[in-house]
Structure 1
Amino acid sequence: MRFSRVVGPRRSEVVTAQDPVPADHQVLVEVLACGVCTSDIGPWRTHDPAAEPVRLGHEMVGRVAATGRHAGQWRPGDLVTGLGGDGFATMALMDANAVLPVPPGVEPALAIGEPVADLEEALSRTGIRPGDKVAVVGLGFMGLGLVQLARRHAPGLLIGVDPDPARRERALALGCDLAFAPDDVPVEFRSDSGRATEARPSIVLEATGVTPGLRTAGSMVRPFGTLCVVGYHHTGDAMMDMDLWYKAVTVVNGFCPDRTRLVAAMRDALGLIAERRFSYAPLITHRFGLDQVDEAFGAMEEAGPGFVKGVVLL
């Protein structure tokens, strides 16, 4: 097998090793596609060259090559996606109970289960109902995915917020009714408007991963509404506006540490992909080879107007 590993700040190398052997409850998967995730950019940026190399990549789709003794539900040749690690490789081990079949006819790069499972699980805890006014703050990969998932619940109004005009255009194409830059959100949708609260969203989904995004999201949610923090706040202190307390807002932590819940959400999300009610096609904008992992993270870091999500193809 061949795999990429990080050996220094912003520097990876591809090496060769023996194919791993699956344990009793594992499957060995020939990786076909692996998404490049924001949660991995920290180790890629800062890895100490004196430390052991690290392997990244956990958003995998692949073909089963071998199974452990107690993984008999899978057969060589099955196309699967699921929860795993060390995915920037030609071969990877995955927990047999944390993978699911890819819907027939779906390209591997458009069937990555883990990210959409994260979004669907978070959204499921907001209590979203038909007719609700919903806002998505942050229209990168996660936010645009949330736009698609929220749209299927028939919201009465779906608002997107992002400083990037290209992202706002994408959000409108994917189902937002309105899209604004943070500084241009109309007064009727903000808590400092002094107007009736009914105009404001009852559910606000924060997908920025930065404190200013949290501040914008908090200002938009109406009293007794729900703020779901889906953004990956991986550095510093994410300060919460105490006005949320005075508005009796329910704050939902969009992160889910439970693999059983994530696999259940992944099953639902893959069903949406099969039914063409969710699609990665408008979100996967950049594709890279195994020897281009550094370029993939660099494109994510730069986040130009044409970038939404990168995938490493093998």
Structure 2
Amino acid sequence: MATMLAGRLDLVTGKFGMEQVAIPEPGPGEVRIKVLAAGICLSDVHLIDGSLRLKPRPGFTAVTLGHEVAGVIEKLGEGTETWWKVGQRVLLQAGQTCGACALCMTRTGCLRPLTRGVDYDGGWAEYALARQDTLIAVPDMLPIEQAAILPDAVSTPYAAIVETAALRPAESVGLWGIGGLGAHGVQLVRAFGAAPIIAFDPLPEARERALALGADLALDPQQPDVREQVLSWTDGRGLDVALDLAGVAPVREQAQSVLAPRGRLVLVGLTPAPLTISQSIGFCVAMQQVRGHYGSRFEHLPQLVKLTRLGRLDFSRSVSAVLPLADAPLGVERLMKKQGNPIRLVLQP
């Protein structure tokens, strides 16, 4: 039996490690990808440190992590469409529809979307399987490491901004957490005409990065004059859009305190902590909103590939380092400890 190296999370013990596993065979409508690049996301770190938990189920007691994946088609399964070719460069959607719910049957969405590297094996491996409807062609001019981080690291804040927040030109935006999602969020809201853009992060290096990427102001959220500064920069109104990209309960409390009338708080970062509306009467009178967000839709990735290909967006600064696949545990540790202030670390088999 031919084997490959993969980064596996044991769902029973919670332990993560590099293992030799069987090279998967593509089924009908699937392709096998030779992985060339796979991003390390903070969600992967949370799965490994236990702050996000996956429940084992019969026949699924371990999973290969990694939902930001790009590579080349290495083998076609039976019944794949003729436009997919062996050797073609592709990136993979970070998830897929379940294919069995009522919305899937009518092709109007999905009630139970599945996430790569969570609900099924991901791309921290030498090879990965993908359903053919989750593939996006990668143009030759786009480096494969940058292509790999478009799913999630870029597409999640993109979808949160253009769809969930429904950002309009000249609206004021605040972004909490200028890590992988936040760094791209700053670039995206600037591209779509936000003004002013205010970034919040306790790390000086992250605040400097926010300013370099286009923020108008970068604040330490722990400082006592945060509200006064926000009001000063927004003509006393507050923020039209507040993006929680950190998934930290105090962020949501602070964001509510600086929302403008009809402002939208969008929850992008994940946390199991309860959500509280501390001033619920004022929240209702001002007709403010809290909007949950998760992932992106299929059409967002082709849009991002097009915008990148034509030079409207540039994520060349986002790949902080490329590590061998075998060093996945080291990459996780570096991201966990924020060593080197990374935006994205990418694994290369």
Cross-structure match for 2:91:
81
1:292: how far off?
Answer: 1.1
Cross-structure match for 1:14:
19
Asked whether the 8 Å contact 1:111–1:273 carries over to 2, the reply is no
1:42 aligns with 2:46: yes
Instruction: Name the aligned partner's letter for residue 142 of structure 1.
Output: L
Instruction: Name the aligned partner's letter for residue 237 of structure 1.
Output: P
CA deviations on 1:135-155 (whole Å, 9 max, x unpaired) are 112111111111111111122
Structure 1-normalised TM-score?
A: 0.88
Q: Partner of 1:69: helix, strand, or coil? A: coil
Q: 1:143 aligns with which of 160, 166, 182?
A: 182
CA deviations on 1:194-215 (whole Å, 9 max, x unpaired) are x997542211111111011112
Cross-structure match for 1:106:
142
Flag structure 1 segments of 5+ consecutive residues without an equivalent: none
Cross-structure match for 1:275:
310
Deviation >6 Å, runs of 4+: none
Asked whether the 8 Å contact 2:156–2:181 carries over to 1, the reply is no
Q: Partner of 2:299: helix, strand, or coil? A: helix
Asked whether the 8 Å contact 2:146–2:318 carries over to 1, the reply is no
Distance in 1 separating the partners of 2:244 and 2:159 = 14
Moved more, 171-180 or 70-79: 70-79
Distance in 1 separating the partners of 2:198 and 2:159 = 21
Distance in 1 separating the partners of 2:258 and 2:245 = 14
Cross-structure match for 1:266:
301
Distance in 1 separating the partners of 2:195 and 2:46 = 38
Cross-structure match for 1:207:
245
Cross-structure match for 1:93:
129
Moved more, 141-150 or 5-14: 5-14
Q: 2:64 aligns with which of 52, 55, 58?
A: 55
1:188: how far off?
Answer: 5.1
Cross-structure match for 2:6:
3
Flag structure 2 segments of 5+ consecutive residues without an equivalent: 94-115
1:290: how far off?
Answer: 1.4
Distance in 2 separating the partners of 1:196 and 1:160 = 14
Asked whether the 8 Å contact 1:26–1:96 carries over to 2, the reply is yes
Cross-structure match for 1:252:
291
Structure 2-normalised TM-score?
A: 0.80
Q: Partner of 1:262: helix, strand, or coil? A: coil
Root-mean-square deviation (Å): 2.5
CA deviations on 1:246-303 (whole Å, 9 max, x unpaired) are 43112221214xxxx6211111111222123333332221322111111111112112
Distance in 1 separating the partners of 2:339 and 2:287 = 38
Distance in 2 separating the partners of 1:33 and 1:196 = 41
Aligned length: 304
Moved more, 266-275 or 235-244: 235-244
Q: 2:273 aligns with which of 203, 212, 236?
A: 236
1:104: how far off?
Answer: 2.4
Cross-structure match for 1:285:
320
Moved more, 36-45 or 213-222: 36-45
1:308: how far off?
Answer: 2.3
